[in-house]
Structure 1
Amino acid sequence: MKLRLDKYLADMGLGTRSEVKKAITRGLTEVNGAVVKKPECKVDTETDEIRYQGRPVGYIAYEYYMLNKPAGVISATEDPRQRTVIDLITSRQRDDLFPLGRLDKDTEGLLLITNDGALAHRLLSPKKHVDKVYYARIQGVVTAADAEAFAVGLDIGDEKRTLPAKLDILESGEISKIRVTIREGRFHQVKRMFQAVGKEVIYLKRLQMGSLKLDENLETGAYRELTKEELEALC
């Protein structure tokens, strides 16, 4: 792939376009061993060797990270006051990463961080109906009648009822434990579905999105790159 030299460097998080342009014109960049001072110089991401301030800079078109999101962190790319999920990806090389889908601030679990817009569309498009699996603790006794209501679809105050969802009751009691599979991504959907049957979600964690399952060995707040097999399954 051919790119302008300034875009190549900016994509790799070495500064804004204006910052890297200044560095290039000052002679701080080499292409295949020769100093290049023109930001508009086209380079081949696969064959050209780029050095910036004496250090080699390889090009990575896409990055894919699985994050076990902790509570208290927002699903955003940047925020002046609060820590974001992107802040947790300290080894990232690109500066255009975003969370694929949102988790509420107090929700934990699986979040995919990438810069692949095409993959985001495939997984998030309302027409795709990608399964999302959550574990939750519920204030109140969850019953078979609730599972039946979830299976039919619920009125949660939107224009349309929710699509049928699968509610598995793991433990029923004053604090019930459940697993629920939904095929949409409406705002606060799981919480609102339980509100519709007169109960309250007190803990929520996403376990799976499509074929991607949360790595059980990934501690809360930790992340890792997707494996080749995980990425192929998603694509």
Structure 2
Amino acid sequence: MKQTIRLEKLLAHTGHGTRSEIKRLMKTGSVSVNGRPVKDGGIQVDPEQDQIAVDGIGVRYREFIYLMLNKPQGVISATEDSRDRTVIDLLDPEYQTFDPFPVGRLDKDTEGLLLLTNDGKLAHNLLSPRKHVPKTYFAEVEGAVTEEDIDAFSAGVTLDDGYVTMPAKLNILKSGDPATDEVSKIELTIMEGKFHQVKRMFQSVGKKVVFLKRISMGPLLLDEYLEVGSYRELTAEELLELQANTTSGLIG
């Protein structure tokens, strides 16, 4: 079955301007379909079969985009905000035209892995509570994180609102020393995404998170070469693995 789309919508999604700008392009004969100039933006085209060009340059169309962002602190996980800079503001216009959104959220002062896409089905599968998608964080914590904390997190801890978390895996990279104000460095894998969950889990055992960074979500690992504030498209392998795990329910 052929998948068709309005020509003007296709051109808008590929960064060729606003609706009025696209109309002007068509009036000048700059837009062609299968070698013939087209002035009606309402016609249906098949992106896989029809050859679409603007000023003689072929147009590459895709329905979905998948971006890995290394979110910086001070930026919020939203599509728009009247006060703060959002993760969408970090994107080039060519990606903004796809109307992507963050899959889940990271707190304003948390950095690290955030997936941006316009694929609602994939996002739903990743965020579904039934999927129990594991998310791993690196954190710096005031005080000494101990084996007792590992046991507590493994059993599930009670948050300030009475909610008992699912079992979580705590790995101590370096235990801090309160006497010298040296922080503990840990990795924590949780299966949920409650509000401020990592911070509240440590709060429940009398400790405070002073730095937090997400390093993985399901099979997706933060690219170690991706600088804070930068982003890139997922590789074909990353996308396939993400799709396979979420649809099969193998995550978690």
Distance 1:127 1:25 in 2: 51
2:250 paired residue number: none
Structure 1 residue 141: Cα displacement: 1.7
SS class of match (1:39): coil
Q: 1:203 aligns with which of 195, 207, 211?
A: 211
Structure 1 position 148 matched with structure 2 position 156: no
2:53 paired residue number: 51
Q: 1:193 aligns with which of 201, 215, 221?
A: 201
Structure 1 residue 21: Cα displacement: 5.1
Farther-moved stretch of structure 1 (220-229 vs 76-85): 76-85
Structure 1 position 167 matched with structure 2 position 170: yes
Distance 2:55 2:79 in 1: 28
Unmatched tracts of structure 2, length 5 or more: 244-252
The CA deviation string for residues 166-192 of structure 1, in whole angstroms up to 9 with x for no partner, is: 111111123111110000111111011
The CA deviation string for residues 110-153 of structure 1, in whole angstroms up to 9 with x for no partner, is: 11122111111111111100100000001122122222111111
Farther-moved stretch of structure 1 (165-174 vs 72-81): 72-81
Distance 1:55 1:74 in 2: 37
Structure 1 residue 196: Cα displacement: 1.2
Unmatched tracts of structure 1, length 5 or more: none
1:96 corresponds to which letter in structure 2?
Answer: D
Distance 2:94 2:147 in 1: 45
Q: Tell me, yes or no, if the aligned pair for 2:14 and 2:94 is still in contact at 8 Å.
A: no
Normalized against structure 2, the TM-score is what?
Answer: 0.84
Superposition map of 1:74-89 within 5 A: 74-89=76-91
2:230 paired residue number: 222
Farther-moved stretch of structure 1 (184-193 vs 46-55): 46-55
Q: Tell me, yes or no, if the aligned pair for 1:194 and 1:200 is still in contact at 8 Å.
A: yes
Structure 1 position 136 matched with structure 2 position 139: yes
Going from structure 1 to structure 2, the CA distance change for 1:158 and 1:126 (only over 3 Å counts) comes to farther
Distance 1:85 1:206 in 2: 15
2:38 paired residue number: 36
Normalized against structure 1, the TM-score is what?
Answer: 0.90
Q: 1:176 aligns with which of 164, 184, 192?
A: 184
2:148 corresponds to which letter in structure 1?
Answer: A
1:74 corresponds to which letter in structure 2?
Answer: I
Q: After TM superposition, where is structure 1 displaced by more than 4 Å over at least 4 residues in a row?
A: 16-19, 21-28
Superposition map of 1:9-28 within 5 A: 9-17=11-19, 20=22, 24=26, 28=30
Distance 1:116 1:172 in 2: 41
Structure 1 residue 14: Cα displacement: 3.1
1:157 paired residue number: 160
The CA deviation string for residues 67-100 of structure 1, in whole angstroms up to 9 with x for no partner, is: 1111112112233443222222327444311111
2:71 paired residue number: 69
Distance 2:111 2:78 in 1: 14
2:122 corresponds to which letter in structure 1?
Answer: L
The CA deviation string for residues 25-50 of structure 1, in whole angstroms up to 9 with x for no partner, is: 67553222222222320001112122
Q: Tell me, yes or no, if the aligned pair for 1:133 and 1:207 is still in contact at 8 Å.
A: yes
1:136 corresponds to which letter in structure 2?
Answer: A
Relative to its length, the structure with more helix (as a share) is 2
1:8 corresponds to which letter in structure 2?
Answer: L
Q: Tell me, yes or no, if the aligned pair for 1:4 and 1:42 is still in contact at 8 Å.
A: yes
